[in-house]
Amino acid sequence: MRTWCLSDQNLRRIKKLQTLKQININPYPSEEYTRTYNSKEIRNNYKNKKKVLLAGRIIRIRRMGKASFLELKDKYGIIQIYISINNFNYENKIYNLFFKKLIDIGDIIGITGYLFKTKNNQISVEAKKIKLLSKCLHTLPNVKIDKMGKTFDSFSNPEKRHRMKYVDFLVNEEIQKVILTRIKIITFIRNYLNQRNYLEVETPILQSIPGGAIARPFITYHNSLKSTLYLRISNELYLKKLLVGGFEKVYEFSRNFRNEGIDKKHNPEFTILEVYLAYKDYYWMMKFTEKFLHKICCNISQCFPLKFGKQDLNFLSPFIDPFQQITFFEALKIYTGFDISDMLENEIIKICTEINVKIDKNMKKGQILDQIFSQKCEKQILKPTFIIDFPIEMSPLAKKHRFKNGLSERFELIINGVEIANSYSELNDPIDQFKRFKKQIKLYNKMESENMLIDQDFILSLEYGMPPCAGIGFGLDRLIMLFTNQKNINDVLFFPSIKSLENRKNNFN
């Protein structure tokens, strides 16, 4: 057992644990515990003196001499338990020693008893048997609110909450609801796509080339293959290979990994929903996206507007309130005051100085434009908006625009100042794709080698012929942040990435 960071309360509970073992009560029994009812079923099917077996965690105890009350919490709610010394026949040991001295808030117990209602008409269980199922060795945070409305002892420290998610879920019901909404959204998406004959597929997480995006990868080594491998930064190229192979409608909940910064919108591992289908383009995908988000919204909020901070976000039918569409260069003009659509690179650099956009001296035109958009435009776009027709320099995997020179058939969906989705009419010309990859090498010369940017097998697959297609990637974690009104990505993840515990011991003393 760990020896650091044990408080006096921890030590007292450990002593109780030892006492339990000394009197032959197993604090962690292994046999199955049969439950006949949960708290919800008890409330919905109350019958006086009905026998019930239930289990849960103690969240409150009121000890009062020869009779006591406790509140037991399970998945479905809270139920009151009445404990009386008269119901136990072991020389009062069960009540006076086991219950009064060795049972604590946080312990998981099983109760056998009979239903009744108190004088206040509260449904309760009169316990005839108590079985300890798991001893809790820590004091649970117990939120208290005084007469002035001031809150005490809440589990609200962000670092503790995000490190100890199991406690966060246990004591902060709102965060548990957020995670349950996450599960509900993912289940809905899966059903929605499956019903429309999309195939859920799986692509490799360990890859020989970190392709499909420009990002710093996590690197590992495979001993048997004697080769360096990379954790997936994108699954896009593999999904396109499946289209080459004849699978026309595919999707994947892709766990991706990028060895880069951490903030309220970025986690080193994150989930992307990627959807690809043959014989469609990015115009079709915009219509699909509006309808798709409308269906998700209706599934979780009955089609009412969502509240995100102070902003009301409306996802009505695309026929009633379609998302706004603005071209990339129109957005730059709106939010910077400059029309830079026809400017050369050196002219754009001068504009960056005027509008106070920070850029690196080694950046090329596409990267500079990306910085201008990120720093000056994105955060100001609140209503759901498609930013369309990006410069070709910023879109190496998208088709050239069929009508507009120098642009690509690409859109990003921005909502409340955050990129939610990215979509292309996918490039399927292998020669053009190879040339684009070669240009990327010059832009990102910090990469280790040419092979880290050019997936030769992907080019080969395109040479066999990929049907015209549209693809989209939704930032699933960000989407869930939006639908649950959360401002920190850590609140929508089961277990976010944070600094190692060894570096944070002092915070828990």
Residue 116: C-alpha distances to residues 52, 66, 70, 75, 393 (Å): 11, 19, 15, 22, 72
CA angle 26, 31, 36 (to 5 degrees): 110
Per-residue b or e along 46-75, where b marks 16 or more CB atoms closer than 10 Å to that residue's CB: eeeeeebbbbbbbbebeeeeeebbbbbbbe
Instruction: Return the pLDDT at 364.
Output: 87
Are the C-beta atoms of 62 and 70 separated by less than 8 Å? yes
Q: Please state the rounded mean pLDDT for residues 401-421.
A: 96
Query: In sequence order, what E strands does 336-388 have?
Result: 385-388
Q: Strand, coil or helix: what is 417?
A: coil
- Helix H or strand E segment including 251: strand 249-257
Reply yes or no on whether the pLDDT at 89 is more than 60.
no
Model confidence at 149, pLDDT cuts 50, 70, 90, reads low
Per-residue DSSP letter, 93:
H
pLDDT in tens, 438-449: 887 766 654 444
Q: Please state the rounded mean pLDDT for residues 253-275.
A: 94
Instruction: Return the pLDDT at 94.
Output: 73
| Assigned CATH for 8-134 | 2.40.50.140
H helices present in 259-360, as ranges: 282-301, 328-336, 345-355
With respect to CATH, is domain 173-323+383-508 assigned 3.30.930.10? Answer: yes
Q: Strand, coil or helix: what is 348?
A: helix
**Phi/psi of residue 380, each to 5°?**
-90, -5
Model confidence at 65, pLDDT cuts 50, 70, 90, reads confident
pLDDT in tens, 288-341: 999 999 999 888 876 666 777 777 777 776 666 789 999 999 999 999 999 999
Per-residue b or e along 413-444, where b marks 16 or more CB atoms closer than 10 Å to that residue's CB: bbbbebbbbbbbbbbbebeebeebbeebeebe
Lowest-confidence region among 44-58, 89-103, 380-394: 89-103
- Range of 86-95, 190-199, 311-320, 500-509 with top mean pLDDT: 190-199
The type of residue at 305 is P
Residue 509: C-alpha distances to residues 130, 137, 198 (Å): 34, 16, 51
Instruction: Return the pLDDT at 507.
Output: 43
Q: How many Cβ atoms sit within 10 Å of the Cβ of residue 313? A: 19
Instruction: Return the pLDDT at 92.
Output: 55
Tokens of 22: 């000394």
CA 388 to chain centroid: 27
d(CA 414, CA 120): 53
Q: What value does the mean pLDDT of the chain take?
A: 89
Instruction: Return the pLDDT at 206.
Output: 95
pLDDT in tens, 171-202: 888 999 999 999 999 999 999 999 999 999 99
Model confidence at 6, pLDDT cuts 50, 70, 90, reads confident
Reply yes or no on whether the pLDDT at 121 is more than 90.
yes
**Alpha-carbon Rg of the chain, whole angstroms?**
29
Reply yes or no on whether the pLDDT at 435 is more than 90.
yes
Reply yes or no on whether the pLDDT at 491 is more than 80.
yes
pLDDT in tens, 209-251: 888 888 899 999 999 999 999 999 999 999 999 999 999 999 9
Domain locations in the chain as residue ranges:
8-134, 173-323+383-508
CA 446 to chain centroid: 31
Are the C-beta atoms of 292 and 483 separated by less than 8 Å? no
Model confidence at 450, pLDDT cuts 50, 70, 90, reads very low
Reply yes or no on whether the pLDDT at 147 is more than 80.
no
